Amino acid sequence: MAAKEELYAKVTPRRQRQNRPSTIKHGSTLDVLLSMGFPKTRALKALVSTGGKNVQAACDWLFSHLDDPFLDDTLPREYVLYLRPSGPLLQQLNSFWKQSRLSCGKNKAHNIFPHITLCQFFMCADEKVEALSDALQNTVAKWKGRIGMPLPLELYTSSTFIGLFVDEQIAEMLKTFASDFATEAASKADVHVEPHKKQLHVTLAYHFQASHLPALEKLAKNVDVSSGCDWLAVLLSRDIRFANHETLQVMYPYVPQNDDELELLPGDFIFMSPVEQSTASEGWVYGTSLGTGLSGLLPENYVSRADESDTWVVHGSHSFLNCASPSTSGTTVSGLLFDGHLNDSLLDSLMDPSGFSGLCPPLQVLRPGCQPSMSKMRLFVCRHGERMDVVFGKHWVTQCFDSKGQQADEITFDYLDLFFLRKALICDVQFTKYSGEALLESHTNIDFVYCSPSLRCIQTAQHILQGLQQEGKTKIRVEPGLFEWTKWVSGTCLPAWIPPAELTAANLSVDTTYRPHFSISKLAVSESYDTYISRSFQVTREILTECKTLGNTVLIVAHASSLEACTRQIQGLTPQNSKDFVQVVRKIPYLGFCACEELGETGVWQLVDPPILPLTHGPNHSFNWREMLMQD
């Protein structure tokens, strides 16, 4: 039992554990780091760079930066105070962000998430950051409930700028709030904060092509500024050395071939300055890693453009409403544009030195009355569990059983091999059940389960339902349209799948009354890539329509390719080319999991942090669902 609990702890998201404090004070954490022998300047730098979240995060940062030439540099970070929307208004703005990016490409506004600037960037010494965070918390406490929500906003457009301006009377109140924060920061942290003196606004677009103005203006007019919203006062910081650099994100791993090259880990960020490219030859760039602090040359096609704010750290976030403030600190803002809330896997990834993206817990999305919405429709897509023919070879069945179906003896498959085979079978079942139990622990209820006809997918769905304690209550709908790309099927014909009636006879919770959206007879051997993508999109869309008014959460259990094929087009994105598609799919592990949410009743979906992390014992690549967004 103890071993099970230890394994289960690894798959259960840490954010679901009870009684975890929202913020750990630097003081106690600093004492621990000092007692471990770290110099004070390094310990403070690690705490500030990770927001003082915990000792493990700071240690991981220090160990990954051992060779950082600026590790002992005392140059402070730059800080800024923003107002950030949440709730329905944020969903509206995110929808505008996504649609404008798709139709008109990226403009300058996309570099930072939707916000209202309350002060200019300012510097704060590492040892004063905790006091600075306290100054913000104290100031918000004085102002809580004094500013009506949502803020009155008015759309303004010109040939070079589109934005939402705050009503003048409310803007003056916000400027007074910023001035109070400046006074508190000077008193507590001995820093000079200059409140923003210009008109307060949310920038929607600027530095865009003149030909894009009509389309952007039309999209902006669709933003309902009266949508419910709580505005959060968020304190963020960035590394001042890279303020004017372009931010890139690593897509593929790279092992250096020469001393002047930089090792790349997927998910890490690279800072690149155009003035430093004189040493780089064609196809290469010179940059500095966020994860290690090291600089060097790297292949240009291994990285993609990211947003400036993806590497910023959150040191505090506080609601202006009278209900509990969703305070968050110590988090990197990776993935903010697409989430609608701060990405919560960056926090958990700090516990894992192999991960650099997704380190932050979610800011509560608040609606009027501070009641979170539970009516959103959600789609989960999960890859099946480990395949025994992959682990032990395609002839493992003939080695384990004789012609009469009896277990083979040591002559054909020695005892030790049989022992490990049984262990692997049990382990895979248990890991799949743990995923279901983790969903249960995260208070996730599955209303509908759709499954590829492959037996491995049906078995995986069955064990997930067992872990969720929904076995027998929720039936598995076997959908042939969810089968993988038939080009990957070996041989000249498709597999002979077990009929639903026989699966039910074998005690599997299969819905024998379900009529598939895509019949087996329509599946063709070696179908084209376009046909597979179209089939997956069509079936997913029909499944969501079928479940629309009957439940909130749909689980699809299928194949590695399904995580991409079933979610990309419902987000309004165009399919990737087959080469990029394969690069994404090959990194998805067994039991890999992704989640989508519908933005209100808009019919537009977005990828969000899944309620559980992937758990597998196979030799898989490191997986983060954000890799499916890299090709946007």
| Catalytically active residues, by annotation | 383-384, 559
Do residues 476 and 513 touch, judged by C-beta distance below 8 A?
A: no
* Other residues' Cβ atoms within 10 Å of the Cβ of residue 156: 14
For residue 582 the two structure tokens come to 């394969």
For residue 541 the two structure tokens come to 């869309």
For residue 169 the two structure tokens come to 């009377």
Closest by CA to 200, choosing from 220, 181, 176, 223, is: 176
Q: How far is CA 251 from CA 20, 519, 573, 623, 629, in A?
A: 33, 37, 19, 11, 10
Q: Give Cβ neighbours of residue 5 (< 8 Å, ≥ 6 apart).
A: none
Q: What is the number of residues in the chain? A: 632
The full DSSP string for 115-151 is -EE-B--EEE-GGGHHHHHHHHHHHHHHHTTTS-SSP
CA atoms of 547 and 112, how far apart (whole Å)? 36
DSSP, collapsed to helix, strand or coil, labels residue 525 as coil
CA atoms of 215 and 106, how far apart (whole Å)? 13
Residue corresponding to tokens 């090959």: 586
Q: Give Cβ neighbours of residue 333 (< 8 Å, ≥ 6 apart).
A: 113, 236, 309, 310, 311, 312, 313, 314, 342, 343, 360
Do residues 120 and 196 touch, judged by C-beta distance below 8 A?
A: yes
CA atoms of 129 and 43, how far apart (whole Å)? 13
For residue 499 the two structure tokens come to 């009929």
Phi, psi values for residue 301, rounded to 5°: -80, 5
CA atoms of 296 and 73, how far apart (whole Å)? 19
Question: Residue 210 is inside which H or E element, if any?
Answer: none
Amino acid present at 220: A
CA atoms of 534 and 45, how far apart (whole Å)? 50
DSSP state of 81: E
Closest by CA to 627, choosing from 251, 233, 337, 255, is: 251
Do residues 232 and 362 touch, judged by C-beta distance below 8 A?
A: no
| Whole-number CA gyration radius for the chain | 26
Question: Residue 10 is inside which H or E element, if any?
Answer: helix 2-11
CA atoms of 565 and 555, how far apart (whole Å)? 15
